[in-house]
Amino acid sequence: MATPQWLAVVTHSLRTIRLNKLRLLHALLLGLLLFTSMGLSPINQAFADNRLIILVRHAEKADAPAGDPSLSDDGHARALALVSALQRTQISQLIATQYQRTQQTLLPMSTERHLPITVVAAEKPLEAHIQQIVEQVHAVKGNSLIAGHSNTVPLIIKALGGPEIPTIAEDDYRQLFLLSIHDGQPASLISTRYGHE
């Protein structure tokens, strides 16, 4: 028995539609694959080159011993306040010097985030120490938190492309600097305060 002509037309139309859907799906998948291979890598690279460097001077120190004092009670409280101040900020590495006061400033953050403290020894000449800090910052992707000293924090900011800042007063432990580094653009700096006054 011969197939009615209207049924043959409908069957042919359905096959054409199905074939066109497959071609459309194939084209969409191919386009998505092409977009992913061409576009995703540069996007990830762009994010990798943007980072935040957080710098603080070590928290309040005890009066003794003179060479390498630990933090005072106020200093320990400020170190805890640093964790609260940065609770929503992702951090990839912690950097301190060989002195107790810088390491103890970062210890609560290290405990909270399960991050080791990288020690970059403060040696002379000071320029070499600053350069080692810069190299350590660039060695790890992501944001860095650095606990330095009143004389090194301004130099580190400048060496990382930030502006020149005034000298940190000997009795000032409250400043927190947020240095945003964007690949190919000038760094931007925000200065704020944390902990008790």
For the chain, how far is it from start to end, CA to CA, in angstroms? 97
- In this predicted structure, the answer to whether residue 42 has a pLDDT above a threshold of 80 is no
Looking at residue 39, its pLDDT comes to: 40
What is the value of pTM for the model shown? 0.75
Looking at residue 1, its pLDDT comes to: 54
In the DSSP assignment, the letter for residue 59 is -
At 31, the pLDDT band (50, 70, 90 cuts) reads very low
Strands of the sheet containing 51-57, edge to edge, are 117-119, 93-96, 144-148, 51-57, 175-181, 188-193
Q: Closest by alpha carbon to 61, among 71, 52, 53?
A: 71
pLDDT, average across residues 127-146: 96
At 40, the pLDDT band (50, 70, 90 cuts) reads very low
